[in-house]
Amino acid sequence: MSKLKKFLMAEAIREAYSRGEEEEQMEPLVLVNADDRPIGRINGGDYVIFYNIRGEREVQLSESLIDPDFKHFPVEPPPKPKMATMIQYDRHLDKFGVKVAFPPLEEIKDSLSEVVSKNGLKQVKITESEKEVHISFFFNGKNKEPFPAEDRISIPSPRVRNVDEKPEMSISEVTRAIVGKINQGEHSLIVANFPNLDVIGHTENREAILKAVEAVDTHTGMVVEAARKAGVITLITSDHGTVESWLYPEGTIDTGHTKSPVHCLLIDPTLPPSSRVSLREGGALTDVAPTILALLAIPKPEVMTGESLLVSYPKFEKGKRRLLLLITDGWGITDDDYGNLIKAADTPVMDSFHEQYPLTSLKASGEAVGLPEGTVGNSESGHSHMGCGRVIYADRMRIKKSIEDGSFFHNKALLWAMSNAKKEEKPLHLLGIVSFYSSHGSVDYALALLEMAKREGLSEVYIHSMLGRRGERPETGAIYTEKIEKECQQLGLGKVVSVIGRYYALDREENWDRVEKAYRLYVHGEGRKVKQM
């Protein structure tokens, strides 16, 4: 193979592996020419298609590129490219002329939070900043603003470079906030999330994960005890599994989410000891919202297709009782001991709860939560389905179908970017995650966009790859980047010109120093040089 046929950026990623860098925090790599000048920088007037599909982690980077009044770090001046995004990241980006390829189909009405609000009851959402968007935006049916009488408490997550440095995260502060609201007595519904298993579970640090599991177990006991003393019902569940299946069959670590069901526990101190209440089997996360409404004696709206999990439960008057929904984020369940770090941890609290109280399992992956059959769950779909009580088909399903039926190649927003780039003789930049399966997108989107650019007759296309191995085997970033580089060579169009870990490019907690590193890679070409031969 000649030097021109080498997969330069894939090889550079493999060299980064050999230096001890992992994908999530991979330092910037930039393709340069023979004179060491960076290739494919994003300049004013260029066209960018940001093909990620989650949204909340994409907003900060988008703002740095297109907001003329951006002030969080020097932008010298803002490059102001013209941007299209695969889905709507945030409505306020519209004012910068952002085009959306797959806009929301409809506004999601009558979520759990909206129904509770309409019934005149107060509610509060409590977690740390790492999961704030999940129990607010996603849980509320992608409604950003709180409903009337809805409060939100977000405890700052620890500012550490590696999350496994503090596996307990801010759980003590979150617990204090939950217990405080339980004892205060003014909220009929408290929704809280302990994010530790999900966040620490994406690392390869076994001891840190065990500490995270044990911290969640201990603090679950603390909040449940406070709820019992105050006469507050507790419903414990999770959005998806993670560390209960931490190893692939051959022993490689799986840092991603799982297909496992999740637990659902009911602890109701208002019931008499002779109560025969149970939770039905065969449920899914869509049944959480109807169950909570039943416990609060609020009628379920027709749009909620989920059903209450309660069996043989007595009737109560609306507004007479209070409820805590505790989401032990990432706590999946399986009988298999292999790679099961939940079973390997010391969890006396949850073990006793599983034996003592009504318990069932809920489907939290695949079609049950609007995802393709056989795929793992994720935080976005998990919280959306818990909070909305119906199946909400994921954007990835719409995009996958559009690629298969060919309508993708006629999408107005994507054609806008490509046709104008061609007419104005400007480069097209494809910006996004490089992964087979990520809640943020897929390498298939980059490949489809390259094929579309070829069809539309573009001559200058640059790909900016974001890496972050979650739920995939080691070194997949190099594998998928090579796949893109190979496709570029076959099409005779496009170059992978930059690579960076998603830790920098996809921040959502205003760690602007991280975003600035990604910005300076894309706009100024700052990074480890990979020379084009």
If we measure between CA atoms, which residue out of 244, 266, 267 comes closest to residue 256?
244
Q: What angle do CA 136, 106, 435 make, to 5 degrees?
A: 65
List of E strands, 88-194:
99-102, 123-128, 150-155, 189-194
Burial environment of residue 278 by CB neighbours within 10 A (0 to 12, 13 to 18, 19 or more): middle
Same domain, 364 and 427: no
Question: Is pLDDT above 50 for 425?
Answer: yes
Same domain, 386 and 340: yes
Model confidence pLDDT, tens digit, residues 238-270: 999 999 999 988 888 888 899 999 999 999 999
If we measure between CA atoms, which residue out of 104, 99, 102 comes closest to residue 416?
99
**Model pLDDT, residue 269:** 95
Residue 116 lies in a domain: no
If we measure between CA atoms, which residue out of 200, 226, 202, 207 comes closest to residue 126?
226
**Model pLDDT, residue 471:** 56
Give the distance between the most distant pair of CA atoms in the chain. 81
Same domain, 294 and 404: no
Residues 351, 89: Cα–Cα separation, whole Å: 40
**Model pLDDT, residue 397:** 85
Residue 345 lies in a domain: yes
The CATH number that applies at residue 244 is 3.40.720.10
Question: Is pLDDT above 80 for 224?
Answer: yes
**Model pLDDT, residue 5:** 53
Same domain, 62 and 130: no
Q: How many CB atoms lie within 10 A of CB 195?
A: 30
Residues 531, 314: Cα–Cα separation, whole Å: 71
Same domain, 164 and 202: yes
Residue 84 lies in a domain: yes
Q: State percent of the chain over pLDDT 90.
A: 79
More confident: 424 or 274: 424
User: With bands split at pLDDT 50, 70 and 90, how would you rate the model's confidence at 1?
Assistant: very low
Stretch among 148-152, 306-310, 318-322 having the lowest mean pLDDT: 318-322
**Model pLDDT, residue 23:** 85
Q: Which of 361, 391, 421 is the last residue of a domain?
A: 391
**Model pLDDT, residue 391:** 94
Q: Which of 345, 361, 391 is the last residue of a domain?
A: 391
What domain count does the chain have? 2
Q: Which of 334, 363, 391 is the last residue of a domain?
A: 391
The 8-class DSSP code of residue 165 comes to: G
For the segment 319-334, the average pLDDT, to the nearest whole number, is: 95
Residues 199, 220: Cα–Cα separation, whole Å: 17
Residue 117 lies in a domain: no
Same domain, 320 and 368: yes
Q: How many CB atoms lie within 10 A of CB 287?
A: 28
**Model pLDDT, residue 2:** 39
**Model pLDDT, residue 475:** 77
Same domain, 199 and 229: yes
Residue 109 lies in a domain: no
Residue 115 lies in a domain: no
Give the torsion sign (CA, 507, 510, 515, 517). Answer: negative
**Model pLDDT, residue 127:** 98
If we measure between CA atoms, which residue out of 212, 204, 506, 197 comes closest to residue 377?
197
Same domain, 380 and 433: no
**Model pLDDT, residue 317:** 83
Q: Which amino acid is at 293?
A: L
Helices (H) and strands (E) in the chain, counts: 17, 18
Contact 374, 471 (CB under 8 A): no
Same domain, 261 and 169: yes
The CATH number that applies at residue 403 is 3.40.1450
Same domain, 222 and 289: yes
Helix axes 443-455, 476-491, angle to 10 degrees: 10
User: With bands split at pLDDT 50, 70 and 90, how would you rate the model's confidence at 3?
Assistant: very low
Residue 114 lies in a domain: no
For the segment 296-321, the average pLDDT, to the nearest whole number, is: 92
For the segment 132-138, the average pLDDT, to the nearest whole number, is: 93
Same domain, 247 and 378: yes
Contact 189, 292 (CB under 8 A): yes
Residues 70, 438: Cα–Cα separation, whole Å: 29
Pair of tokens at residue 158: 């620890």
Residues 148, 165: Cα–Cα separation, whole Å: 38
Model confidence pLDDT, tens digit, residues 447-473: 999 999 999 999 999 999 999 866 566
Same domain, 375 and 436: no
The 8-class DSSP code of residue 239 comes to: S
List of E strands, 208-345:
233-237, 262-267, 278-279, 283-284, 310-311, 323-328
Residues 6+ apart with CB under 8 A from 45: 80, 81, 82, 424, 426
Residue 118 lies in a domain: no
Question: Is pLDDT above 50 for 383?
Answer: yes
Model confidence pLDDT, tens digit, residues 139-189: 999 888 999 999 999 999 998 888 899 999 999 999 999 999 999 999 999
Domain enclosing residue 271, as ranges? 123-391
3-state secondary structure of 529: strand
Q: Which amino acid is at 305?
A: T
User: With bands split at pLDDT 50, 70 and 90, how would you rate the model's confidence at 427?
Assistant: very high
List of E strands, 76-220:
82-87, 99-102, 123-128, 150-155, 189-194
**Model pLDDT, residue 440:** 72
Q: State percent of the chain over pLDDT 70.
A: 97
